[in-house]
Structure 1
Amino acid sequence: MVFALGPAARSAGYRLEAFESIGSTNAEALARARAGERGPLWLVTPQQTAGRGRRDRAWISPRGNLAASVVEVIDVAPPVAATLGFAAGLALEQALQAVSVEARLRSPDSTDTVFTLKWPNDVLAGGRKLSGILLEAELVASRQLAVVVGIGVNVVAAPEGTPYPAAALHALGIHVGAEELFGALSEAWARLRAVWDNGRGFGEIRRQWLERASGLGQPVSVRTGGAPLTGRFETIDDTGCLIVVTDDGAKVPVTAGDVYFGAAASSGAT
């Protein structure tokens, strides 16, 4: 099987370049944007050797996992571009739901897994981290914003010893390939990118995201490098900030940080 765009993605004008192996699809996408690429273009590989997650953490991606980045130059402000990460999470959750249904149809032994969205940019499977999303942006020569959304999914293997427990699709009994998952992802992305509509449709993206949010209404602890902020996860606001209600009733917006829910929030996990 080879990587291919879904019909909706092709109709929307997306292009695709696949690699047997690459250091980082995000780094390649940014380099191309600096050189004049305007997108929309997907770069995809089953093996990434120098991937990065948030805060420059390494993203381990052995052969068989999925690493994909979509690049586009758009005329929006950076805070608006940041909300595109929520559309990416929704797209990946919908793609995972679609391929898991297909897997169950092929094999009655496949498991029925619940996928949820963890603020700001993770997809969980059964409460374990299945994927990560890294959004990067920079101004290019036209003074427009080159936006790159990188998506990594543990398809065949997941790292061990991570701060947040990780999972892989195959270990969950969902036997699909990176190529099949990417096809579903490109379809879901084309739909939700249109809903987002350069930020004008973030209200609808926010509504759908909250329906799938992990930890909503639960105790939460957010670590940003200093003393942790603890309270209850109330919602995300219209800019995508996590809203934490503290014990004294204050509503604190959070723009970035490592988030832990439930028992992990109470135990002080790091």
Structure 2
Amino acid sequence: MAFRLAPTAVAEGFRLEAHDTVGSTNALALDHARDGDAGNLWVVARMQESGRGRRGRAWATPHGNLAATLLVLVGSELRLAATLGFVAGLALADALEAVVPKGRIAIGLDGASQGTNRFELKWPNDVLASGAKLAGILLESAALGDGRFAVAIGIGVNVVAYPPDLPYPATSLQALGAAGDAETLFLALSDAWSANARLWNEGRGLGAIRRRWLDHAAGLGGEVAVRIDGSVVRGTFETIDEDCRFVIREHGGNLLTIAAGDVHFGAVASAGAG
């Protein structure tokens, strides 16, 4: 099966560039923007040879997994564009719900799960299944000469394989017993993106996105440890604020708002964040 866009995505003017193997779909999308691409372009591949995650970490995408990047062009408000990562998380969770048969994925996150979603969203950019990382999302941007910014919304999903040597649990759809391929998942993702982007509505619907995200949040109300620039803060995952920043209630009762950090739940949070 070849990669293709959902009819809703085609009707809304999205375009598709599909590859078997690339270096990085994010890098390729940003190159297109610098060369004058108008955006609303999906760049997808079955394999990435030099993918990356947050903070420059390597993100392997072996053949059969999904590497997808949506290129969008925005004005000068990069802070608002950063919330597109939450739109992407919801779109991917919706796509996974659509293509993975019910009963294939168990629910649970080391005692911190809300117990209502097969696929949970871990702040700020991961999708979990059975408490393990199934997918990651990475936003990268580049300034364009006309004052606008190109934003590459990268989505990597472990469809057939996952890295075995990570410091946290990871999994793949295949390891969880869910059949399917990258092409089928991307078709559903392109459809789900359109629906969630309409809800986001260029930022005017961020409140609705926030509420939906919290309904899918991993670890909400549970023990959490957040590593911030070498130090670790512990407490309870309280909420995300109106700008989608992480809010933790420290053990003394103080509320702390965090814009960037590595989050650990459950037993890992209790023992230490690594």
Distance in 1, Cα, partners of 2:48 & 2:80: 29
Distance in 1, Cα, partners of 2:105 & 2:164: 23
Distance in 2, Cα, partners of 1:54 & 1:126: 22
Describe the superposition over 1:232-251 as per-residue Cα deviations: whole angstroms up to 9, x where unpaired. Answer: 10000011100011112111
Gaps of 5+ in 1: 105-109
Q: Do the aligned residues in 2 keep the contact of 1:76 with 1:198 (CA within 8 Å)?
A: no
Q: Do the aligned residues in 2 keep the contact of 1:195 with 1:201 (CA within 8 Å)?
A: yes
> Alignment partner of 2:59: what SS?
strand
Residue 238 of structure 2 corresponds to residue 234 of structure 1:
yes
Aligned twin of 1:107: none
Describe the superposition over 1:179-231 as per-residue Cα deviations: whole angstroms up to 9, x where unpaired. Answer: 00000000000111111111111100000000010000011100123220111
Query: 1:161: how far off?
Result: 1.9
Aligned twin of 1:26: 26
Matches within 5 A, 1:91-130: 91-101=91-101, 111-113=104-106, 114-130=118-134
Gaps of 5+ in 2: 107-117
Query: 1:75: how far off?
Result: 2.0
Q: Do the aligned residues in 1 keep the contact of 2:227 with 2:273 (CA within 8 Å)?
A: no
Aligned twin of 1:254: 258
Distance in 1, Cα, partners of 2:144 & 2:168: 35
Describe the superposition over 1:126-176 as per-residue Cα deviations: whole angstroms up to 9, x where unpaired. Answer: 000000000112221110121110000000001012122100001101110
TM-score (norm 1): 0.95
Aligned twin of 1:51: 51
Deviates more, 1:73-82 or 1:3-12: 73-82
Aligned twin of 2:114: none
TM-score (norm 2): 0.94
Distance in 2, Cα, partners of 1:8 & 1:62: 29
Identity %: 52
Aligned twin of 1:152: 156
Distance in 2, Cα, partners of 1:239 & 1:76: 17
Moved over 4 A (4+): none
Q: Do the aligned residues in 2 keep the contact of 1:244 with 1:251 (CA within 8 Å)?
A: yes
Query: 1:76: how far off?
Result: 4.8
Aligned twin of 1:219: 223
Distance in 2, Cα, partners of 1:76 & 1:185: 27
Distance in 1, Cα, partners of 2:155 & 2:69: 6
Distance in 1, Cα, partners of 2:31 & 2:172: 30
> Alignment partner of 1:146: what SS?
strand
Distance in 1, Cα, partners of 2:183 & 2:174: 14
> Alignment partner of 1:170: what SS?
coil
Query: 1:43: how far off?
Result: 0.2
Distance in 2, Cα, partners of 1:220 & 1:138: 33
Matches within 5 A, 1:188-227: 188-227=192-231
